[in-house]
Amino acid sequence: MKFKLYKISIIILMISFLLNPDFSIAEKYKLSRFVSPEICGDCHSDIYNQWENSMHNLSQKDPIYLKLSEFILKGLTEKDEIAEAESCVKCHVPIGVVTGYPKKLSDDKSKIPHIAEEGIQCDYCHSAIGAEKKYNNDLKLDPGYGEDDPGIKRGPYNDSESDYHETGFSEFHTNSKICGTCHNVKHVVFNTDLETTYEEWEKGPYNSDNPKNRITCQGCHMYQKPGIPSTGSTKRPENKGYASDDGPVRDHVFTHYFTGASSYVHEKFGDKTKASMAEERLKNAASVSINTEQIKKGKLFITITNIGAGHFLPTGVTDIRQMWLNVTISNDKQKTFYTSGKPDLNGYLPDGTIIYNTVFGDGNGKPVVKIAKAREILKDKRIPPLGSVIETLATPIFKSEKLTINVKLLYRTAPQKLLDLVSGKDKIKLPIITMAEIEEKT
């Protein structure tokens, strides 16, 4: 009898696993095992200030994430699509997920514990011991037992000592893989590649065996500081200083700003420094050149090169990112003959704009806006690291007048049309950043 019950409960367990793919995200650790970032900040004050209001800190407070995730889940009826839409919390609220709440996106947000709301934080990354899967956040953790017994904090040093916590050298932390397990996202059921930043880097020129050419994620993103965008096309000087307020001087202390391309979110939280760091980064990512030899025959050649990013341009959530060409041709009397990629009064891009992004499809060739429905990739037009794309524009045939040709490469983290749809007209107005610009007169 007992044996039968045991068998039945195994079967029930298996069925619930099959019915609910989220079942694998079960509670593993007591919340009290994690130490809040403020405590780490008592001794690591510089690092704390860099991390505070970073996209990692804001991963669960970011208004764009909150609005978009809500929109994606709303109205779904198919269980596979719902499973994807519910899975966002695994990366955006990671301490919550490993300690049992929230389990899924639709769980009541007002009940998320304070520490989990602090996003991707010190004790989460520094308790990590490895990751098997290179996608969908498969970090394995070994946290301590809370404030009074914080356990081992792992990092890049093999000679580090702290009275408060044990320390340990971790090769994993010095490697792009720790970033890659979250910066590669696959649909939980359809396996569609939703984000591939790590893979783009892994297959790209910066993942080189030659130490002179090799730059890890940390090699760009953890060298940046105000005034130092630290991209592939700029200097990446060492940041000499203290890793802890009472530690020794170190030749390089890895910075924790983690700025990418999002300036709006930092600005929203009052952090102008990080907002301008993100803009500087975008301004040192690409170059644009033009060839006007055949302009009078109605042809303009534009070359865009990814000189600064260790991955494709753009990368990450490229189904919403917008990087596009804004072209204007005018004569010496300021009359404009031709424009392309000029936002209209609503801030929407006109049809025909040359845009670098990804478009997902429903499996039958029809574009979908919600990633939960992404069964295929219909379009992936982006620029690989150190790679170039040449565009040939058909322009009007010009007579003999003098022309001014202006080309801008512009960037916005999401389409205004989408934001108006998910948050109400003009509630969120994203800045448009000029990444590169060139002007030539014939």
193-195 and 241-242 beta bridge pairing? unpaired
Q: Which of 287/291 has CB closer to ligand HEC?
A: 287
Q: Answer yes or no whether residue 327 interacts with ligand HEC by CB under 6 A.
A: no
Q: Answer yes or no whether residue 226 interacts with ligand HEC by CB under 6 A.
A: no
Give the span between the Cα atoms of 87 and 53, in whole angstroms. Answer: 23
Q: Which of 254/360 has CB closer to ligand HEC?
A: 254
Least Cβ distance, residue 258 to ligand HEC (angstroms): 4
Q: Which of 135/341 has CB closer to ligand HEC?
A: 135
Tell me the DSSP string of 246-259: TS-EES--------
End-to-end, the C-alpha distance of the chain in Å comes to 91
Q: Which of 97, 179, 275, 403 binds ligand HEC (CB under 6 A)?
A: 179
Q: Answer yes or no whether residue 198 interacts with ligand HEC by CB under 6 A.
A: yes
Q: Answer yes or no whether residue 310 interacts with ligand HEC by CB under 6 A.
A: yes
The amino acid at 69 = S
Q: Which of 256/408 has CB closer to ligand HEC?
A: 256
Positions 361 through 390 that interact with ligand HEC (CB under 6 A): 371
Q: Which of 82, 97, 98, 220 binds ligand HEC (CB under 6 A)?
A: 220
Say which residues have a Cβ less than 8 Å from residue 301's Cβ, sequence separation at least 6.
Answer: 290, 291, 294, 390, 391, 392, 393
Give the span between the Cα atoms of 336 and 351, in whole angstroms. Answer: 19
Q: Which of 96, 102, 143, 232 binds ligand HEC (CB under 6 A)?
A: 232
Helices of type H across 23-113: 37-43, 45-51, 63-73, 79-86, 89-92, 94-99
286-291 and 299-306 beta bridge pairing? antiparallel
Nearest position to ligand HEC, beta carbon: 316
Least Cβ distance, residue 385 to ligand HEC (angstroms): 7
Q: Which of 246/344 has CB closer to ligand HEC?
A: 246
Q: Which of 98, 115, 253, 374 binds ligand HEC (CB under 6 A)?
A: 253
Residue 255 near residue 275 (C-beta atoms within 8 A): no
Q: How distant, in Å, are the alpha carbons of 15, 51, 213, 425 from that of 226?
A: 53, 13, 24, 34
Residue 120: DSSP 8-state:
S
Q: At what angle do helices 416-423 and 63-73 cross, to 10 degrees?
A: 70
Least Cβ distance, residue 1 to ligand HEC (angstroms): 43
Give the span between the Cα atoms of 310 and 385, in whole angstroms. Answer: 6
Least Cβ distance, residue 240 to ligand HEC (angstroms): 11
Question: Which residues make beta-bridge pairs with 2?
Answer: none
Least Cβ distance, residue 192 to ligand HEC (angstroms): 12
Q: Which of 216/395 has CB closer to ligand HEC?
A: 216
Site string for ligand HEC, 145-164 (x = CB under 6 A): -----x--x-xxx--xxx-x
Q: Which of 341/385 has CB closer to ligand HEC?
A: 385
Positions 27 through 86 that interact with ligand HEC (CB under 6 A): 35, 37, 39-44, 47-48, 51, 55-56, 58-59, 62, 64-65, 68-69, 72, 84-85
